[in-house]
């Protein structure tokens, strides 16, 4: 009584569905709904989060991410060019930098620039400067590797054609090679922005005033002030998705566009 | 020499430069690909370099505008000594147009911008002036009507003609062609060759690496046969192609001109 391949596939699908259903029911039965209702999904008490979650939380997350990205993009481009340089010292510096900042937790960088460096040099930096530098330095390490791959993906003939027209090396890079490299790395670069958006939450290790709170810190603050348990953090999490999901869709659009033009 | 319109839009003749190559040597590691090449090209002369692949013809061509750095010997192009370590490479390259086998058009720019970008950035021409020169040269290669197309919207033959227009827009005194028709569909080869033929008639100095023997015989003043990194035979085009004197030249031409009647050697 052998089954055909199609019958076997159908049975296997039913079995998978059944397992999933049983697991779901088990979870629903095991959860303490009463506690969850008061301390996780307690949306009745989160009214006071608005509109400040827009005015400080969301706004600051966007501002911190943007500043970090600008520094990261400039630093990343510089490092990528250094890494492709024919001058060995530049390559070593770039490689050292990239390996170091990709290898340590971003949190340590925030602590170093939030407390260590200001202490060492006796300076006072405001939060925006610290975020810009910390996030930017970590981002440039990642972006550098992305851009390096993009620069190397531009065919060598492009540089040769540009140089043959009398363009100096820097001019050929700026006018011909780098614009093409950016087009190639647009999808992975958008993903870097998503990572940065989430890393901006690490600013919580610094002492912040309420107007400097970004989404995560704003949510944590709500935990202690609203008496709705973890609910405010859940709301903050949803706001991250509001930023990151459109970025994801954008990255996918860039990807399909470059796949189309490659023909 | 026919009259052509130069950058300023007025009519003038092509200012053609000559090339003098003396005892040129080039190695990659222990592999010597150019073993002492000497070759002179007079202003306005058209010279075709022929020979089997790996004979060093492309390397020789690329040495002339320093895309490859020669190890020994000298190259004079126009008023420049390319092999002088202090030569202003970028200034020299403005005089030397280069056309590649793979076209190497800039894919992020349309045909016209491909022809203007170096004019504005290198020669510091105004955009209006550069546009005028670009359109003139695109018309010269028969593509004035496709000036706003991007490279991926053009056929191979059209792309190669835009690449020629791009090089001409810099008002070069010498044009280098590195197997310009080898990557083309057979039916578009003719358009590119006829553009090159016209350019030769206008008096441009041309150094052409090619496998198109018909073109070499008809257009070239001289043909140079290279094999194994040396010049084996050179002379008037008709004589080298129709009545070669060296056995290696004879063998090569027999294989190229009549590939269906080659007997397989043991």
**Cα–chain-centroid distance for residue A210?**
24
Closest residue in B to A168 (Cα–Cα) = B90
Nearest to B152 among A162, A165, A261 (CB): A261
β-pair partners for A198: none
* B230 strand-pairing partners: B227
Q: Which residue from A165, A140, A157, A126 is spatially nearest to A82, judged by alpha carbons?
A: A140
Residues from chain B contacting residue A153 (CB–CB below 8 Å) = none
Which of B93, B105, B152 shows the shortest C-beta gap to A164? B93
Query: Are A180 and B166 in contact (CB < 8 Å)?
Result: no
Q: Note the ipTM here.
A: 0.91
Indicate if the pLDDT at residue A53 is higher than 60.
yes
Q: Would you say the C-alpha torsion B211, B212, B217, B220 has a positive or negative sign?
A: negative
pLDDT band at A256 (very low <50, low <70, confident <90, very high): confident
Q: Identify the three-state secondary structure at position B211.
A: coil
Taking an 8 Å cut-off on Cβ atoms, the answer to whether A163 and B104 are in contact is: no
Contact criterion met (CB below 8 Å) for B180 and B190: no
Q: Do A168 and B170 touch (CB under 8 A)?
A: no
Q: Which of B93, B96, B103, B114 is most worth mutating to test chain A (most A CB atoms within 10 A of its CB)? A: B93
For residue A127, what pLDDT band results from cuts at 50, 70 and 90?
Answer: confident
Most A CBs within 10 A among B66, B92, B110, B121, hence the mutation to make, goes to: B121
> CA dist A126 to A110, A137, A207, B121, B211, Å?
13, 17, 10, 42, 69
Q: What integer pLDDT is reported at residue B190 of this predicted model? A: 94
**What is the torsion angle, in degrees rounded to the nearest 10, for the CA atoms of residue A146, residue A150, residue A151 and residue A154?**
170
Of all residues in chain B, the one with the smallest CA distance to A157 is: B104
CB B89 within 8 A of CB B255: no
Q: Calculate helix-pair angle for A178-199, A59-83, nearest 10 degrees.
A: 140
Read off the pLDDT band of A39 (50, 70, 90): confident
For chain A, how are helix, strand and coil distributed in percent, rounded to 5? 85, 0, 15
Percent of chain A with pLDDT over 70: 98
SS3 B34: strand
**Would you say residue A235 has pLDDT above 70?**
yes
Nearest chain A residue to B176 by CA: give it.
A164
- Do B60 and B34 touch, CB atoms closer than 8 A? yes
Q: Which of A160, A168, A175 sits opposite B117 (nearest CB)?
A: A175
Mean pLDDT (chain A) is 90
Cβ neighbours of residue A234 under 8 Å, at least 6 residues apart?
A40, A41, A219
A261–chain B Cβ distance below 8 A for any pair: yes
Split at pLDDT 50, 70, 90, the class of A63 is: very high
Check residue B47 and give its pLDDT.
Answer: 97
- Give the per-residue pLDDT at B266: 55
Contacts of B94 in chain A (CB under 8 A): 165-166
Interface test with B, best of A165, A176, A186 (most B CBs within 10 A): A165
- Chain B residue with the nearest C-alpha to that of A164: B93
pLDDT in the model for residue B264: 67
Positions of chain B with pLDDT lower than 70, given as ranges: 1-13, 262-266
User: Which residues of chain A does B123 touch, with a Cβ-Cβ cutoff of 8 Å?
Assistant: 166
The partner residue sitting opposite B100, judged by closest CB among A157, A175, A263, is: A157
**CB-count exposure of residue A6 (10 Å: 0-12, 13-18, 19+):** exposed
What count of CB pairs under 8 Å joins A to B?
Answer: 63
- The sheet carrying B80-81 orders its strands as B31-41, B19-28, B72-77, B80-81
Identity of the residue in B107, B121, B163 whose CB atom sits nearest the CB atom of A167: B121
Q: Which two tokens stand for residue A166?
A: 């009398």
pLDDT for B9 equals 41
pTM greater than the 0.95 cutoff: no
Cβ count within 10 A of residue B189: 18
End-to-end CA distance of chain B: 51
pLDDT, position A49: 81
CB A247 within 8 A of CB A56: no
pLDDT confidence of residue A261: 58
A122 confidence band (pLDDT: 50, 70, 90): confident
- Between CA A64 and CA A203 the distance in angstroms is 9
Interface test with A, best of B68, B117, B118 (most A CBs within 10 A): B118
Strand-strand pairing, B230-236 and B222-227 = antiparallel
Structure tokens at A196: 């940065």
Residues in chain B with CB shorter than 8 Å from the CB of A176 are 106, 117
Task: Tell me the mean pLDDT in the region A203-224.
Answer: 85
Q: Do B93 and A166 touch (CB under 8 A)?
A: yes
CA distances from B115 to B105, B119, B171, B184 (A): 10, 7, 11, 21
Residue A136, min C-alpha distance to chain B (Å): 29
C-alpha to C-alpha distances, B142 to A95, B135, B191, B192, B219, nearest whole angstrom: 49, 10, 9, 10, 20
């Amino acid at each position: 009584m052998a089954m055909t391949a199609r019958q076997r596939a159908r049975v296997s699908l039913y079995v998978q569905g059944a397992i999933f259903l049983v697991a779901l029911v088990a979870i629903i039965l095991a959860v303490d709904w009463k506690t969850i209702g008061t301390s996780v999904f307690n949306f009745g008490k989160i009214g006071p989060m608005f509109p400040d979650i827009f005015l400080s939380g969301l706004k600051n997350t966007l501002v911190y991410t943007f500043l970090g990205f600008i520094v990261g993009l400039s630093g990343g481009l510089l490092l990528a060019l250094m890494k492709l340089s024919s001058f060995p010292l530049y390559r070593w510096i770039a490689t050292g930098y990239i390996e170091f900042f990709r290898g340590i937790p971003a949190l340590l960088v925030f602590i170093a620039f939030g407390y260590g460096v200001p202490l060492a040099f006796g300076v006072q930096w405001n939060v925006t400067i610290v975020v810009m530098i910390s996030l930017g330095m970590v981002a440039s390490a990642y972006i550098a590797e992305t851009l390096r791959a993009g620069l190397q993906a531009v065919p060598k003939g492009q540089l040769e054609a540009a140089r043959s027209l009398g363009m100096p090396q820097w001019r050929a890079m700026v006018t011909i090679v780098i614009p093409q490299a950016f087009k190639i790395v647009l999808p992975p670069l958008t993903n870097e922005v998503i990572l940065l958006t989430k890393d901006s939450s690490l600013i919580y290790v610094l002492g912040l005033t309420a107007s400097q709170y970004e989404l995560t810190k704003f949510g944590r603050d709500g935990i202690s002030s609203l008496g709705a348990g973890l609910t405010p953090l859940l709301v903050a999490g949803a706001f991250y998705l509001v930023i990151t999901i459109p970025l994801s869709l954008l990255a996918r659009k860039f990807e399909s566009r470059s796949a189309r033009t490659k023909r | 020499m026919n009259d052509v319109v130069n950058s300023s839009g007025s009519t003038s003749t092509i200012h053609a430069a000559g090339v003098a190559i003396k005892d040129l040597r080039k190695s990659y590691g222990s592999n010597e690909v150019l073993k002492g090449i000497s070759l002179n090209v007079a202003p306005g002369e058209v010279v075709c370099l022929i020979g089997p692949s790996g004979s060093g013809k492309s390397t020789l061509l690329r040495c002339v505008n320093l895309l490859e750095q020669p190890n020994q010997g000298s190259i004079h192009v126009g008023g420049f000594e390319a092999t002088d370590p202090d030569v202003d490479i970028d200034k020299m390259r403005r005089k030397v147009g280069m056309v590649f086998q793979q076209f190497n058009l800039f894919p992020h720019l349309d045909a016209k911008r491909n022809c203007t970008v170096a004019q504005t950035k290198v020669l510091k021409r105004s955009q209006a002036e550069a546009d005028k020169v670009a359109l003139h040269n695109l018309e010269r290669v028969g593509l004035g009507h496709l000036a706003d197309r991007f490279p991926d919207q053009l056929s191979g033959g059209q792309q190669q003609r835009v690449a020629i227009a791009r090089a001409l827009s810099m008002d070069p005194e010498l044009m280098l062609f590195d197997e310009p028709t080898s990557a083309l569909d057979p039916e578009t080869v003719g358009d590119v060759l006829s553009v090159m033929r016209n350019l030769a008639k206008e008096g441009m100095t041309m150094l052409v690496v090619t496998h198109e023997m018909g073109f070499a015989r008809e257009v070239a003043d001289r043909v140079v046969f290279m094999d194994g990194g040396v010049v084996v035979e050179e002379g008037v085009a008709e004589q080298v192609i129709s009545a070669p004197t060296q056995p290696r030249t004879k063998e090569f031409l027999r294989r190229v001109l009549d590939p269906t009647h080659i007997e397989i050697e043991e």
